[in-house]
Amino acid sequence: MNANTPQTNELAPPTERIPMIRWLHQNLFNSWFNAILTVVATIVIAAIVFGLGHWALTAARWEVIPANLKVLFVGTYPAEQLWRVWTILVLIGLITGFSGGRRSGMMGRIALVVSGGAVLLGLFPFPLGTRLWILGVGAAAGGGIGLGLLAKTRKSPWIRRIEIGVWLASLPVSILLLNGIGDVLPVIEGRTQWGFLLNLLGAIAGIALSLPIGILLALGRRSKLPAVRWVCTAYIEIIRGVPLISLLFMASIMLQLLLPDHIRPDLLVRAMVTIIAFSAAYMAENVRGGLQAIPQGQFEAAYALGLGKVLTTILIILPQALRAVIPAIVGQFIALFKDTTLFGFIAILELLSLSRSVVGNLEWRGTIFELYVFIGILFWTLCYSMSYVGRRIERTLGVGRQ
């Protein structure tokens, strides 16, 4: 072969697209059985879509959702104190915009979605005060993007450290602002009746704490110290062998009988600790799977460079292990978020429980299906967003390709 002759990649996919009719013939009508199956499936799907569409456009009473939006999202949180919730959303929008402007990439797209989505929501016919707050969130995200772009031109390492510190402080600050701070802000009573806000708090707290706890448990289960290994193994196997609903009932009822009279943790705190402990046990096994996938040569190479066990684990092993199990970690986060709906079984009124109380009102009787459709769409949107972010992280890190 002449060296000047251009070589072609025989494995490269064809550039021309298969015509629609040819694609249909090859994939759906390539045999009489597949043809019948395709036609029957198409008729069934069309009937379902037509029936749901007809119900959604003609018979459904969607007015139940805007009429009870405050009840569903924040429950019994006092209306005069809702500025706290909106302030947290504005601050989160500002931080998200700043990170998006400074980092670009996926974080930049998230910031743009937050800013643009808030502006679009502000166009809906909400009450004037609500619309102004929603637009404020969008404006904060847009302003944060501008500040992030400005900070991107500066190479000071302090900017990155301040950004990470603000993100780490956002969760405890938000919880203190929501709950109240002694004499500074009045303490809000009825924390177990905050609707969807409780689902978010449970998911965020669980995600933020279960991962580091799970990493420690996974490392402890692989420890060469028998006492540490046995304790971690026993914890993981016991927690994973008991249903979450049983642990929640134990935390809500039996724990009070075991603790001294002067120690009475709040029911919401007990539920949060339970779901974090439950998720951490599963997270530990996910992380342990990633640790087992690291070849022994990585340890030996790190030791040959003079790194000790601690530095080898932190700098060499853990990053590779976590990178390998990103899908499992994201899946556990999604499962944790959906598991917060079990709070309703222990008298914590989260979104699903409050939807049933809304139907108890005579005015909205018979609208349970509309509420369930709304809740399903809401949960699917947030779960899909987490899944999308996880896939983007995998693509950025080259998981499965290098």
Write out pLDDT tens, residues 291-338.
Answer: 988 888 888 888 888 888 888 888 888 988 888 899 999 999 999 999
Per-residue pLDDT of 172-229, as tens digits, reads: 888 888 888 877 788 888 888 888 999 999 999 899 899 999 999 999 998 888 999 9
Distance of alpha carbon 115 from alpha carbon 123, whole angstroms: 13
> According to the model, what pLDDT value does residue 312 have?
86
Domain with CATH 1.10.3720.10 in the chain: 192-402
- In which residue ranges of the chain is pLDDT below 70? 1-18, 400-402
> According to the model, what pLDDT value does residue 401 have?
65
The answer to whether residues 387 and 328 touch, using CB atoms and an 8 Å cutoff, is: no
Q: What would the two tokens of residue 302 be?
A: 């790190």
> According to the model, what pLDDT value does residue 184 have?
77
For 353-378, b/e burial (b = at least 16 CB within 10 A) is bbbeebbeeeebeebeebbebbbeee
**CATH topology (fold) of 192-402:** MetI-like fold (1.10.3720)
